[in-house]
């Protein structure tokens, strides 16, 4: 289930509009890259990495750690939590190493984990990306398959 949660978290490779920022992310005296106000998929590789550092990790890390402090301990949460291993200097999403999902039958997952993903993780990630949450009425919104691959794929 840890991977299911992690996948939804890091599906930031979808698309978003992010306001420019100069919020420090490093040590004393360091300033973060100012990100352009364009959808995520229009950012270059370096800008995407910075977007994840500035926008995604600070929001998602506490959500994961609060949900399961043992599996998502402070020192263990990072890019690999959702993205897995780097391939050709890039992370892959959806991550084929995360649990495969049969969206018609999610009974193999704990109810509390599914509720957490749908009520906390998906809405938080959609908000970060400035996208709607997936629904039947909004099939292009941010959903499970942004991070996970379907069973049989």
Q: pLDDT tens digit string along 79-129?
A: 888 888 887 878 888 988 889 999 999 999 999 999 999 999 999 999 999
- CB neighbours of 133 closer than 8 A, spacing ≥ 6? 122, 123, 126, 141, 142, 143
Would you state the pLDDT for residue 23? 40
Question: pLDDT over 70 for what percent of the chain?
Answer: 78
| Least confident interval from 44-53, 86-95, 116-125, 142-151 | 86-95
Q: The whole model's pTM is what?
A: 0.74
For the chain, the average pLDDT equals 80
Model pLDDT, residue 91 = 82
pLDDT value at 73 more than 90:
no
pLDDT score of 47 more than 70: yes
């Amino acid at each position: 289930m840890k991977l299911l949660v992690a996948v939804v978290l890091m599906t930031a490779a979808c698309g978003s509009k992010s306001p420019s920022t100069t919020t420090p992310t490093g040590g004393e005296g360091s300033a973060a890259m100012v990100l352009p106000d364009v959808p995520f998929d229009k950012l270059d590789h370096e800008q995407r990495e910075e977007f994840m550092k500035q926008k995604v990790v600070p929001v998602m890390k506490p959500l994961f750690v609060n949900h399961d402090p043992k599996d998502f301990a402070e020192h263990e949460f990072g890019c690999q939590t959702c993205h897995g291993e780097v391939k050709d200097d890039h992370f892959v999403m959806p991550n084929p190493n995360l649990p495969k999902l049969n969206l018609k039958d999610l009974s193999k997952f704990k109810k509390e984990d599914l509720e957490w993903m749908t009520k906390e993780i998906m809405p938080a990630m959609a908000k970060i990306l400035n996208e709607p949450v997936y629904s039947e009425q909004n099939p292009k919104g941010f959903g499970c398959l942004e991070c996970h691959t379907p069973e049989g794929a």
